[in-house]
């Protein structure tokens, strides 16, 4: 019997997404594992694989459609010997909110129950009679209710709502003048009335975008509209600094023993067929391992704030900040306390490579209780990082540099690295943070402890 191809959930909290494009067309034969479509999130483009073999009998959701709800039926797969005429009743799932507005001829939301079914003949058509009453559609503004119906994708409405933008003041460039995500993003740059005060939306400086531009001569700057990643980064960091009570602790770590151990381990690495080492540990690999073990030594610091409670995590799931064009990812090394330095090195390197091409799956960069941001490779000696919600801490690592220090009355020189711990004071107090840094420092300065 025909098989439903549904919109996948790319993360536990995902409710809808963008069906970016189809890589197959109706009538194409596919096998299990074939890539058939691409789904977009704010941070990544994910590939959708066929789970069965057969023929694409009918595509119900066109490529480029925003706001496709998770578990929506997006296509029908025919098994061997079946034809399009065999597509009869298809068990419905919660499906599109916005496809009617674009005139794509696919289903809008329908109530689902065990007896609800969707057939090819029952798909509603984009006529005025089939449009739901404006007051009953989630996310519609007053302009909708008062008779001026605003055609906008759910994603565009959500972004406008988050930015407090009056969506009725935006001109749409989508099909039939529909307001889409890019229209809202451009409006955030150029400035449109907000819902509350009728002024241009506030940006980082606290001034409207038009006011900022007025300070400079035309032609002396280039306008680059924010993409989805930069918008999310800006929103999350603003939330973090406004809602998380940060405090900062700093410690110096002597890297002499660590650098010697690293050199010895790398020198003993087996060679591949080409005569090259099979692995090469970085200082950052030791830092990830040391921080993971420090969280185990001081388990009360492995905590995240959850409003009415504090979550104390058993595993050291350490996120590692990876810079990419336009923003950053924080892929998570899960259970890092139980992984070898070689395993951590390989995992972080794989994450970094796939992050730069936006090929990370959401479960790979979501979660964790803490993070590490290392700017040492850029020559930065010391800095303080912003906590990435819902994490309780973030470790900011600077470059190691040769310095003079006193040791039991003697003047010595060594490679010293500054580390700054940012703590969420709601879940980690000052003394607790100090214990965490002390445990970390001992691991870094005596790396043999990491191998015990």
For residue 133, the model assigns a pLDDT of 30
Query: What pLDDT shows up at residue 394?
Result: 97
In a domain, 278, yes or no: yes
Whether residue 447 lies inside any domain: the answer is yes
pLDDT in tens, 55-84: 998 898 998 888 888 888 898 888 877 777
Give the structural domain span for 334.
Answer: 246-451
> Do both 434 and 297 map to the same domain?
yes
Q: Are residue 383 and residue 362 in the same domain, yes or no?
A: yes
Res 104: pLDDT: 32
Q: Within this chain, do residues 308 and 446 fall inside the same structural domain, yes or no?
A: yes
What is residue 183's predicted lDDT score, i.e. its pLDDT? Answer: 82
State percent of the chain over pLDDT 70: 79
Q: Judge whether residue 193 has pLDDT over 90.
A: no
Q: Is 425 a catalytic residue?
A: yes
Name beta bridge partners: 406: 411
Q: Are residues 85 and 28 in the same domain?
A: yes
pLDDT for 207 equals 58
Query: Which of 226, 254, 270 delimits the end of a domain?
Result: 226
CATH number where 151 lies: 4.10.320.10
pLDDT at 82: 77
Residue 431 lies in a domain: yes
Taking the C-alpha atoms of residue 46 and residue 49, their distance in angstroms, rounded to an integer, is 10
Among 27-31, 154-158, 387-391, the minimum mean pLDDT is found in 154-158
Q: Same domain, yes or no, for 119 and 191?
A: no
Last residue of a domain, one of 109, 129, 149: 129
Residue 233 lies in a domain: no
Q: How many domains does the chain have?
A: 3
- Where does the pLDDT of residue 158 fall: very low under 50, low under 70, confident under 90, or very high at 90 and above? confident
Instruction: Indicate if 311 and 251 belong to the same structural domain.
Output: yes
Residues 100 and 193 in one domain: no
Q: Considering the domain boundaries, does residue 347 fall inside one?
A: yes
427: pLDDT strictly greater than 80: yes
Which residue, 107, 129, 151, sits at the end of a domain?
Answer: 129
For residue 425, give the CATH number of its domain: 3.30.559.10
From 117, 313, 363, 425, the catalytic residue: 425
pLDDT at 99: 36
For residue 95, what is the domain's CATH number?
2.40.50.100
Domain match, 263 and 339 both:
yes
Query: Which residues sit opposite 247 in a β-bridge?
Result: 423
Residue 448: burial class (beta carbons within 10 Å; 0-12, 13-18, 19+): exposed
pTM (2 decimals)? 0.61
Q: Tell me if 239 is assigned to some domain.
A: no
- 240 occurs within a structural domain: no
Are both 207 and 318 inside the same structural domain?
Answer: no
Picking from 146, 65, 142, the residue whose alpha carbon sits closest to that of residue 98 is 65
Q: Is residue 214 assigned to a domain?
A: yes
Largest alpha-carbon pair distance within the chain? 90
pLDDT score of 317 more than 70: yes
Q: What is the DSSP string of 47-80?
A: EEE-SS-EEEEEE-S-TTEEEEETT-EEEEEEPT
Distance CA 71, CA 394 (A): 36
pLDDT of residue 360 exceeding 80: yes
Q: How far is CA 366 from CA 10, 149, 238, 247, 356, in A?
A: 11, 37, 18, 24, 17
Residues 123 and 141 both lie in one domain: no
pLDDT of residue 121: 32
Query: What is the rounded average pLDDT of the residues 127-131?
Result: 31
pLDDT given at position 316: 97
Give the residue, 99 or 420, on which the prediction is more confident: 420
Residues 23, 160 within the same domain: no
| Residue 13: pLDDT band with limits 50, 70, 90 | low
pLDDT band at 283 (very low <50, low <70, confident <90, very high): very high
Asked if residue 192 has pLDDT above 60, the reply is no
Query: Do 335 and 441 fall within a single domain?
Result: yes
Average pLDDT, the chain: 80
HSE, side-chain direction, 13 A CA sphere, residue 239: 12
Percentage of residues in the chain having pLDDT higher than 90: 41
């Amino acid at each position: 019997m025909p098989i439903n191809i549904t919109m996948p959930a790319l993360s536990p909290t995902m409710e809808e997404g963008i069906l970016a494009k189809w890589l197959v067309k109706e009538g194409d034969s596919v096998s299990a594992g074939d890539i058939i479509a691409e789904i977009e999130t704010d941070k990544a483009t994910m590939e959708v694989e066929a789970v069965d073999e057969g023929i694409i009998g009918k595509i119900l959701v066109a490529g480029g459609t925003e706001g496709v709800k998770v578990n929506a039926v997006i296509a029908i797969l025919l098994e061997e010997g079946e034809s399009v005429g065999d597509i009869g009743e298809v068990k419905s799932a919660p499906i599109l909110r916005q496809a009617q507005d674009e005139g794509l001829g696919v289903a809008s939301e329908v109530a689902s129950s065990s007896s609800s079914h969707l057939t090819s003949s029952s798909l509603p058509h984009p006529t005025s009679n089939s449009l739901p009453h404006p007051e009953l559609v989630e996310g519609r503004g007053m302009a909708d209710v008062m008779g001026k119906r605003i055609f906008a994708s759910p994603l565009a409405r959500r972004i406008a709502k988050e930015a407090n933008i009056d969506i009725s003041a935006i001109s749409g460039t989508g099909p039939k003048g529909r307001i889409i995500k890019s229209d809202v993003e451009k409006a955030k740059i150029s400035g449109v009335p907000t819902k509350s005060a009728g002024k241009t939306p506030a940006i980082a400086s606290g001034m409207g975008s038009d006011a900022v531009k007025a300070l400079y001569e035309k032609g002396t700057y280039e306008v680059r509209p924010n993409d989805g990643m930069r918008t999310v980064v800006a929103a999350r960091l603003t939330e973090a600094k406004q809602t998380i009570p940060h405090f900062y602790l700093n410690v110096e770590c002597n890297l002499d023993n660590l650098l010697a151990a690293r050199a010895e381990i790398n020198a003993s690495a087996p060679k591949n067929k080409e005569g090259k080492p099979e692995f090469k540990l970085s200082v950052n690999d030791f830092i990830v391992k040391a921080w993971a073990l420090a969280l185990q030594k001081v388990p009360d610091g492995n905590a995240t704030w959850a409003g009415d409670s504090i979550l104390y995590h058993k595993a050291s799931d350490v996120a590692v900040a990876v810079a990419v064009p336009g923003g950053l990812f924080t892929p998570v090394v899960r259970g890092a306390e139980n992984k070898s330095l070689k395993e951590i090195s390989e995992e972080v390197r794989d994450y970094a490579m796939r992050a730069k091409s936006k090929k990370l799956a959401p479960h790979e960069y979501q979660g964790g209780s803490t993070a590490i941001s290392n700017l040492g490779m850029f020559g930065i000696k010391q800095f303080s990082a912003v906590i990435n919600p819902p994490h309780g801490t973030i470790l900011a690592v600077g470059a190691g540099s040769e310095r003079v220090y006193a040791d039991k009355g003697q003047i010595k020189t060594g490679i010293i690295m500054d580390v700054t711990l940012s703590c969420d004071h709601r879940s980690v107090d000052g003394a607790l943070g100090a214990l965490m840094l002390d445990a970390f420092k001992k691991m870094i300065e005596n790396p043999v402890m990491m191998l015990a």
